[in-house]
C-alpha cells in the first residue's frame, strides 16, 4: 500500500511537471511596449530585439546590436504627446523612417507577459498583448489575428514517408474553419521556402522533393481579411521528413568569422546560413539570438550576436 501511494504521488508530480513544461512552451514572453499615433513599439526582454508595428501593417526589426550604440533621443514632443526614451528612444530618435511611420508616442511604456508563439520553419510569429493580437509575417508585414480554435487540420498525410530527392511526394489534407489552405514546402536544413501553393480546404497535391537531406511540409488553414488582400493564419499542421539520396551543398566559406567580442558584422555576399556555418553555430541559434524573423533578409553592416 505504501509503495502504491508513493507511485501515485510520483505520477502526480510527473503530470504536474509536464503541465508546467507545456505552459512554458505555450510561450509567455516578457515585453515592454508603447503605443504611438500610428502603431506600436515592442521590446522583447529575452533578446532586447525591438519590433516597430505600424497601423498600416508594416514591420521594422531592430536587433539590439543595431540600436544599443546609438545616441539617446533628443527630440521633444508637442503638448499632449510623448517622445520615447531608452531603447525605443534610440530607435525612434535616430531613424526618420520610424518617426514617419509611427508619429509620436501617446502613452508611457508598459510591461506585460505577452502570449508568444513562433512557428518554424515558416518563421511566422503570433504575439498578443493588451488589446493587440499580431501575426508577424517573415516578409516584414503584420496583420491583426491569432490562431483560432474554430479552425483545424483534420487529416494530413504525405506519401511516401521516406521520399527521395528530385522525386514526387503526394500531400493529402482535410481542414475545417477556414476559406482556403496554403501548403508550404521548406528545406529543413537551410529554412528556405521552396513553394507555397494555395489550394482548397481538402484535397491532394504533388510536390517535387528538393536535393536536400530533410524537408518540412506545412498545411495552413487561412482566411482573407475583410477589406484587404491580407490573410490570417488560423491553424496548421506540419511534418518533417528525412530525404534519401539528397545532398547538402554547402556554400563556399568565403571570409572568416571575425568577431569583436561576440559580434559579427555582415559583409557583402553573406547569408545567415553561411555566417552560421562559418562561425560554428546552428542557423536556429543565430536567428534566435538576434531576433531575426526573415532569415533571408540581412544587410551589409548589420551586427549579429554569435551565441
Instruction: Read off the pLDDT of each residue in 166-184 and give the average, rounded to a whole number.
Output: 97
**In the predicted structure, residue 128 carries a pLDDT above the cut 90:** yes
Query: Which residue from 92, 126, 95 is spatially nearest to 220, judged by alpha carbons?
Result: 126
pLDDT value for 34: 98
44: how many CB neighbours lie within 10 A of its CB? 19
Instruction: Read off the pLDDT of each residue in 166-188 and give the average, rounded to a whole number.
Output: 96
**Full-model pTM:** 0.76
Measured CA distances, 220 to 64, 196, 205 (Å): 32, 10, 14
Tell me, what DSSP letter sits at residue 95? -
User: Is the CB of residue 223 less than 8 Å from the CB of residue 178?
Assistant: yes
Q: 116-150 burial by CB neighbour count: b if 16+ within 10 A, else e?
A: bebebbbbbbbbbbeebbbbbbbeeebbebbbeee
pLDDT value for 291: 75
Q: Identify the band that residue 93 occupies on the pLDDT scale cut at 50, 70 and 90.
A: very high
Alpha-carbon distance 216 to 192, whole Å?
Answer: 10
Query: Which residue from 155, 178, 183 is spatially nearest to 234, judged by alpha carbons?
Result: 178
Average pLDDT, the chain: 86
pLDDT value for 159: 97
Q: What does the pLDDT look like over 260-281, one tens digit per residue?
A: 777 788 888 888 888 888 888 8
Contacts of 228 (CB under 8 A, 6+ apart): 143
pLDDT value for 280: 80
Q: Identify the band that residue 287 occupies on the pLDDT scale cut at 50, 70 and 90.
A: confident
Instruction: Read off the pLDDT of each residue in 88-114 and give the average, rounded to a whole number.
Output: 96
> Assign residue 154 a region: left if phi > 0, alpha if psi is -120 to 50, beta otherwise?
alpha
For the chain, list the domains and their CATH numbers.
Answer: 28-144 (no CATH), 152-242 (2.60.40.1930), 259-305 (3.10.350.10)
Q: Of 263 and 120, which is predicted with more confidence? A: 120
What are the cell numbers at 8? 501515485
Q: What does the pLDDT look like over 219-241, one tens digit per residue?
A: 999 999 887 778 999 999 999 99
pLDDT value for 250: 57
pLDDT value for 104: 98
**In the predicted structure, residue 131 carries a pLDDT above the cut 60:** yes
**In the predicted structure, residue 251 carries a pLDDT above the cut 70:** no
Instruction: Read off the pLDDT of each residue in 198-213 and give the average, rounded to a whole number.
Output: 95
**In the predicted structure, residue 138 carries a pLDDT above the cut 90:** no
Q: Identify the band that residue 20 occupies on the pLDDT scale cut at 50, 70 and 90.
A: very low
DSSP-based three-state secondary structure for 284: helix
Amino acid at each position: 500500500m505504501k509503495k502504491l501511494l508513493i507511485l501515485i504521488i510520483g505520477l502526480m508530480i510527473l503530470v504536474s511537471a509536464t503541465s508546467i513544461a507545456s505552459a512554458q512552451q505555450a510561450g509567455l514572453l516578457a515585453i515592454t511596449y508603447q503605443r504611438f499615433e500610428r502603431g506600436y513599439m515592442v521590446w522583447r526582454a529575452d533578446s532586447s530585439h525591438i519590433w516597430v508595428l505600424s497601423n498600416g501593417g508594416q514591420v521594422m526589426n531592430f536587433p539590439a546590436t543595431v540600436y544599443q550604440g546609438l545616441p539617446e533621443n533628443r527630440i521633444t514632443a508637442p503638448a499632449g504627446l510623448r517622445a520615447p526614451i531608452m531603447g525605443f528612444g534610440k530607435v525612434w530618435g535616430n531613424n526618420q523612417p520610424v518617426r514617419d511611420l509611427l508619429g509620436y508616442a501617446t502613452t508611457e511604456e508598459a510591461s506585460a507577459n505577452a502570449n508568444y508563439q513562433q512557428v518554424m520553419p515558416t518563421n511566422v510569429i503570433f504575439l498578443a498583448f493588451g488589446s493587440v493580437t499580431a501575426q508577424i509575417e517573415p516578409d516584414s508585414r503584420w496583420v491583426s489575428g491569432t490562431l483560432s480554435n474554430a479552425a483545424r487540420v483534420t487529416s494530413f498525410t504525405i506519401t511516401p514517408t521516406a521520399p527521395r530527392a528530385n522525386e514526387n511526394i503526394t500531400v493529402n489534407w482535410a481542414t475545417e474553419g477556414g476559406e482556403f489552405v496554403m501548403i508550404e514546402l521548406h528545406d529543413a536544413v537551410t529554412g528556405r521556402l521552396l513553394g507555397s501553393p494555395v489550394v482548397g480546404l481538402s484535397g491532394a497535391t504533388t510536390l517535387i522533393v528538393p536535393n536536400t537531406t530533410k524537408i518540412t511540409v506545412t498545411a495552413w488553414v487561412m482566411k482573407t481579411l475583410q477589406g484587404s488582400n491580407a490573410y490570417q493564419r488560423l491553424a496548421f499542421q506540419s511534418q518533417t521528413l528525412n530525404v534519401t539520396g539528397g545532398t547538402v551543398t554547402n556554400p563556399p566559406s568565403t571570409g572568416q568569422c571575425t568577431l569583436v567580442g561576440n559580434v559579427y558584422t555582415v559583409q557583402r555576399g553573406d547569408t545567415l546560413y553561411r555566417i552560421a556555418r562559418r562561425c560554428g553555430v546552428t542557423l536556429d541559434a543565430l536567428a534566435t539570438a538576434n531576433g531575426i524573423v526573415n532569415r533571408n533578409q540581412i544587410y551589409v553592416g548589420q551586427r549579429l550576436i554569435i551565441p
